[in-house]
Each structure stands twice: as structure tokens, then as C-alpha cells.
Amino acid sequence: MSLSRRDLVGSLTAAAAATLAGAAQAGDKKQGTSPLPAGGAAPAAPAAPSATGPFTLAPLPYADTDLAPAISQNTLAFHYGKHHQGYATKLNELVAGKEWADKSLEAVMKGTYGTDKLPLYNNSAQVWNHTFYWQSMKKGGGGAPGPGKLADAIKASFGDGDALKKELTQAAVGNFGSGWAWLVQEADGKLKVLKTPNADNPVVLGSGRPLLTIDVWEHAYYLDYQNKRAEYVAAWLDKLVNWSWAESQMA
Ligand code: MN
């Protein structure tokens, strides 16, 4: 994976803090509090984020309204501000005072996979997976990849783009329970579709370079589609899939 640790879990910038604050307020208006002091004067700068640990989320690569109507602002605000942030918060609690606090996110998830440190594994992998999922979508996505090495690899591996979408749909819709569907590139350059349960991803499984992922946990779509996962997956592929991100992740 070619994202650096800085990209994945960089320092929480003012912009990220603002994004998080906005997401949290959109997600739970009851807890929204005015940042203004009693006197009414605007603060000179956003409040510094509370230091909660080494793992902080990069900001979403788009506004939380940008993926609507395929994914509503409500879903995106909850998914990023509550679910993704929740995994990071829990991870920080788990690493506090331990050697893991000095390791990269990828090192934590690889080092705890298949061990008895299941909470550490689950939360670190879920932080990683969601960061990759946000990048796998974009405003005005969908359609077909433009000419280039991704389009060539899709043709060589699946025959055509419709065959790839059919496989991705089967993996996403057919993944029983919570998990993820992935497009990966194997060592020989060929592309493959796979599905993983819960927090598992191709990085820890050693099953290829991730190019795209679709989150099929119910929290990714239930507010918009209820139980109709197939409609969410169809909209994801038609309106959101970010082919240029996938191509950027190829070897
Ligand atoms: Mn999710």
C-alpha cells in the first residue's frame, strides 16, 4: 500500500478538526455546543484538538455532502465522525502506555493479526480500512476507468468493466454479515476481487495490493437503504467508485 502513515493518520490539522467537529455536530445535534465564548467574540483560531493519542484521522477527501444522494450527509457524518472516529478513539485507549503507541498503524494491525490481541487488531484494521474506503469514492465517480494501465488490467483480468462490476457486486452483496469487498492487484499484476469478514483486509492476509474497497457493514448504508445492500452497492459502483484512486494504487 502506498499511503504513508502521515497520509493515513497525520497530525490532526485545524481543517481536520473542523471537519470532525462538523461531522460530530451533524451526527448528533444535541451535543453540538457553540464554540463562541459568553462574550460573543469569535475565537482567533479553532480550538486545538484534544490530544487523545497517536492515531488521528485524516480529513475526509471531500465534503460530507458531496456523495449525496448515493450516500447521504447523515450517513457520511455518522460513518466518519462516529464509527471511524470511534475505532481511532478505542485504538488510542488500547495503545496508551504500551509499545504499540510508537508503531505505525500498519505495524499495529499486522503485528496483532492472528494473535490474542483481538481488540487491538480489530480497531487498528478498521481505522486503516475506513481511510482506504473514503479514498475509494469521489464526488462524480462511477462510470468506467479512462484509458491507462487500470483499464488494461481490467480487460486482461476480467474481460471488461461490466464483468468486474459483476464480481464486485457478488462479493459485496454476497459477503455474509459485516465485512468488505476489495479489488486487489496480485504479485503477477493480475487483478482479483475478494471479500473479507469483519475487520480483515488484504494487507494482513497477504492477498494482494488493495486498489478499492466497499464497506458492507450495515452502518455504511442502513440509514439510506435499510436492508437493501444490493441497491447501495449498485449506487456505489454507478455514482461513487474512484477509478483514478484505484489506478494510483497499482504497482
Ligand atoms: Mn464502516
CATH number, domain at 194?
3.55.40.20
Domain boundaries, position 232? 149-248
In the chain, the percentage of residues whose pLDDT exceeds 70 is 80
- Please tell me the predicted confidence (pLDDT) of residue 52: 76
Look at residue 98 and tell me if it is in a domain: no
Flag whether pLDDT at 5 surpasses 60: no
CA of 40 to the centre of ligand 1 (A): 38
Centre of ligand 1 to C-alpha 76, Å, is 10
Query: Does residue 237 lie within any of the structural domains?
Result: yes
Work out the pLDDT band at 17, boundaries 50, 70, 90: very low
Which residues are CB-contacts of 239 (< 8 A; sequence separation ≥ 6)? Answer: 67, 70, 141, 142
Ligand 1 center from residue 80 Cα (angstroms): 8
Is it the case that residue 41 has pLDDT exceeding 50? no
For ligand 1, the distance from its centroid to the CA atom of residue 220, given in whole angstroms, is: 5
Query: Which range among 5-19, 23-37, 75-89 has the greatest average pLDDT?
Result: 75-89
Distance between Cα 229 and ligand 1 center (Å): 13
Is residue 181 in a domain?
A: yes
The three cell numbers locating residue 194: 475478494
188 CA to centre of ligand 1 in angstroms: 30
How far, in Å, is the centroid of ligand 1 from the Cα of 5? 20
pTM: 0.81
Asked whether residue 96 is assigned to any structural domain, the reply reads no
Asked if residue 24 is part of any domain, the answer here is no
Q: Is residue 55 part of a domain?
A: no
Query: pLDDT for 212-232, tens place per residue?
Result: 999 999 999 999 999 999 999
Distance 84 CA to ligand 1 centre (A): 7
Tally of domains within the chain: 1
Residue 7 in domain: no
Residue 57 lies in a domain: no
Q: How confident is the prediction for the chain on average, in pLDDT?
A: 85
226 Cα–ligand 1 center, Å: 15
